[in-house]
Amino acid sequence: MSFVIETPAAAPDLAAIKRRQQATWASGDFAIIGTTLQIVGESLAEAVDLRAGERVLDVAAGNGNATLAAARRFAQVTSTDYVPQLLEKGSARARAEGLPVQFRVADVEDLPFDDASFDVVLSTFGAMFAPDHRRTAREMLRVVRSGGRIGLANWTPDGFIGQLFKVVGSHVPPPTGIASPAQWGTESYLSSLFGADAERIRAERRHFAFRYRSAAHWVQVFRDYYGPTHKAFAALDAPHAARLESDIVALLERMNVAGPGSLVVPAEYLEIVVTKR
């Protein structure tokens, strides 16, 4: 008789993955991309029915789209991210508009706030990228009060950005052992993360339109300024980088609804409001 001894797979080094993520998001200049997404923050602020005076926490805030949307509605806003350079961009935007916002370096997986400190927690295309999904959800639930709301905007797996993840991942594989961030764009996965603590979860599919001069223009902007694609191209030699560019251009042209003279690519995302039990 023979026996097969299975060696359990080593757990992923989440701390090392997070360090690499921080370096990725600090590369390029995400604010160039982020400011084009402002409309998503405005929509999310309306979806959570934000009220003046409410205590709002924006997690993985990037350059502050949800932050500014909440502050424009006279909320008391704390904006957090684990990349200081991104918070500096958000702070400059808030100063330019004369909006009173507190900015604080903080990791969404380990928030430095007491339980039930906030009425609303927001994140636009941010929390979904944290490597430990369940810990991220627990932290957001912990810091929001009973009856408070968590509002999220997450790219879906089948939308443009979800497909872009797959294209880039076929050339530069993502870290092994961690769940895809695109899972945050599915109702069933969100129910598994928040359902036990939620009075209700409301989800609506929406679209953000990427509007650029051409597919080549989109690639140039994202190659130069968007951390994940910036790093992906940097990791490849010239022939492999050319193949990645070709595959992204093909995806863009396939999803372009503007015709040959311009580029408009609708990118599906899930807008979620979780009301805490």
For the segment 138-150, what is each residue's pLDDT rounded down to a tens digit? 999 999 999 999 9
Does residue 226 fall inside a structural domain?
no
Residue 123's domain spans which residues? 20-209+267-276
In this prediction, residues 263-273 reach a mean pLDDT of 98
The count of domains in the chain is 1
Q: What pLDDT, on a 0 to 100 scale, did the predictor assign at position 3? A: 38
Which CATH number do you get for residue 120?
3.40.50.150
Q: What predicted TM-score, i.e. pTM, was given to this entire model?
A: 0.93
Counting residues of the chain whose pLDDT is more than 90, the rounded percentage is 88
pLDDT (tens digit per residue) in 32-74 = 999 999 999 999 999 999 999 999 999 999 999 999 999 999 9
Tokens of 186: 């599915």
pLDDT (tens digit per residue) in 198-210 = 999 999 999 999 9
Closest CA to 89 of 232, 264, 227: 227
Does residue 151 fall inside a structural domain?
yes
In this prediction, residues 232-248 reach a mean pLDDT of 97
Q: What pLDDT, on a 0 to 100 scale, did the predictor assign at position 26? A: 87
Does residue 101 fall inside a structural domain?
yes
Closest CA to 261 of 217, 224, 226: 217
Average pLDDT, the chain: 94
Does residue 4 fall inside a structural domain?
no
Does residue 161 fall inside a structural domain?
yes
Q: Rounded to whole angstroms, how far apart are CA atoms 226 and 5? A: 44
